[in-house]
């Protein structure tokens, strides 16, 4: 998988020397990561070799049977003409492969869910029908991303049907072990006894969760899946556009609906036109991951990444370059 990944990098990027040096350093980082993860007694396998299969029914209670925690993501391809995410198929696939590589190297099993998993849920049809009433027409109301916005809702149901656990967007990458605790791999129990937890909080908000990294038991995923659906239904008249993210942020006022922990670094606070330095490391302290969202890469100052820009194709390269630098600067042996 890695070999394929880097071949794609080279094909896409021609023979720019910045990119070939990136490639060398990424390979080096893989080896470093390899050693890093070996520190953990429970995880001594080759992070890029044979991986255990993720049990579909990896219930919170039976997760002890597997040695690694599971990180799910959701990806369902959308036909080009129905998509307005700023990504093309190849860039999406590259990002997804990089996502798997990084979480696996951080000691997790990864599994990519799609619509078929959501359809396994006994209430899928009801959910699909009720979703018709939720306004998903995009900021400009033109409906250019309806399918994408539907999938963003369905992923919550997909998580409920595979038994719950952790879910990450595939543009969200682990810092060190992705546990938020230095030198400590994620253990196999879900945080907060499986109660629904959102790890990214909108800056300046009072606990408005961003759904890029979350965890919960299957019952909790189901509870939240219907809470965000109801939120969408409640805004059917007053909004042209609603999303699972708006819903989650809006629902912060509902006492006890979910726990918000500020443990994801927003790409915007990490891409600022100069290289990450040692005295920036406090910004990533206690963070599980960094979220290179489309907007954060597109609208940040990337002038320190020579030869790279905020295009879909460069997004994964910006991520790799930032991660390499972060490890060099913040990860003292």
Q: Which residues bind ligand NAG (CB under 6 A)?
A: 114, 116
Q: How far apart are CA 190 and CA 159, in angstroms?
A: 14
Report the 10 Å Cβ neighbour count for 91. Answer: 19
Nearest residue to ligand NAG, scored by beta-carbon proximity = 114
Query: Which DSSP string corresponds to 85-141?
Result: SS--HHHHHHHHHHHHHHHHHTT-EEEEE-HHHHHTSTTHHHHHHHHTTS-B--TTS
Nearer to ligand NAG, 97 or 262 (CB): 97
The residue among 97 and 192 lying less far from ligand NAG, judged by its C-beta, is: 97
| Least Cβ distance, residue 262 to ligand NAG (angstroms) | 32
Q: Considering the complex, state which of residue 116 and residue 205 has its C-beta at the smaller distance from ligand NAG.
A: 116
Taking the complex as a whole, the smallest distance from the CB of residue 116 to ligand NAG amounts, in Å, to: 5
d(CA 267, CA 297): 7
Measured from the CB atom, the residue of 148 and 305 that comes closer to ligand NAG is: 148
Q: How many CB atoms lie within 10 A of CB 2?
A: 15
Least Cβ distance, residue 324 to ligand NAG (angstroms): 30
Q: In Å, how far from its chain's centre is CA 11?
A: 26
Q: In this complex, which beta carbon is closest to ligand NAG, that of residue 92 or of residue 218?
A: 92
Distance, CA of 214 to CA of 197 (rounded, Å): 6
Which pair of tokens denotes residue 205? 């908000």
Asked if residues 214 and 160 have their Cβ atoms less than 8 Å apart, the reply is no
Which of 114, 147 has the CB closer to ligand NAG?
114
To ligand NAG, the closest distance from the beta carbon of 154 in angstroms equals 12
Helix (H) or strand (E) holding 174: strand 172-174
Q: What's the min distance (Å) between Cβ of 121 and ligand NAG?
A: 14
* Sheet strands side by side (includes 109-113): 109-113, 70-74, 164-168, 213-217, 197-198, 259-260
Minimum distance of ligand NAG from residue 89's CB (angstroms): 12
The smaller minimum CB distance to ligand NAG, of residues 116 and 299, is found at 116
Which residue shows structure tokens 């100052």? 301
Query: Least distance (Å) from ligand NAG to the CB of residue 111?
Result: 7
């Amino acid at each position: 998988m890695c070999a394929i990944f880097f071949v794609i990098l080279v094909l896409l990027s021609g023979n720019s020397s910045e990119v070939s040096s990136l490639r060398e350093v990424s390979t080096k980082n893989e080896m470093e990561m390899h050693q890093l993860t070996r520190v953990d007694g429970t995880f001594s396998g080759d992070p890029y070799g044979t991986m255990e299969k993720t049990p579909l029914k990896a219930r919170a209670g039976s997760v002890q049977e597997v040695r690694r925690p599971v990180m799910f993501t959701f990806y369902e391809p959308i036909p080009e003409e129905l998509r307005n995410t700023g990504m093309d198929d190849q860039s999406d696939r590259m990002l997804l492969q990089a996502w798997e590589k990084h979480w696996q190297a951080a000691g997790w099993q990864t599994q990519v869910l799609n619509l078929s998993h959501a359809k396994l849920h006994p209430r899928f049809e009801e959910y699909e029908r009720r979703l018709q009433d939720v306004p998903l027409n995009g900021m400009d109301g033109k409906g250019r991303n309806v399918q994408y916005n539907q999938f963003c809702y369905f992923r919550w149901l997909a998580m409920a049907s595979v038994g719950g656990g952790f879910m990450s967007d595939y543009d969200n990458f682990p810092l060190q072990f992705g546990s938020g605790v230095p030198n400590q791999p994620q253990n196999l129990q879900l945080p907060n006894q499986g109660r629904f937890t959102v790890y990214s909080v909108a800056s300046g908000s009072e606990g408005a969760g961003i759904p890029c990294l979350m965890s919960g038991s299957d019952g909790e995923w189901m509870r939240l899946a219907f809470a965000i659906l109801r939120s969408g239904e409640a805004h059917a008249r007053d909004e042209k556009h609603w999303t699972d993210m708006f819903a989650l942020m809006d629902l912060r006022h509902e006492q006890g609906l979910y726990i918000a922990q500020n443990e994801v670094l927003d790409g915007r606070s990490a891409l600022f036109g100069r290289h990450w330095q040692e005295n920036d490391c406090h910004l990533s302290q206690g963070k599980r991951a960094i979220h290179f969202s489309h907007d954060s890469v597109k609208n940040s100052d990337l002038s320190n990444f020579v030869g790279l820009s905020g295009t879909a194709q460069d997004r994964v390269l910006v991520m790799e370059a930032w991660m390499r630098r972060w490890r060099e600067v913040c990860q003292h042996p």
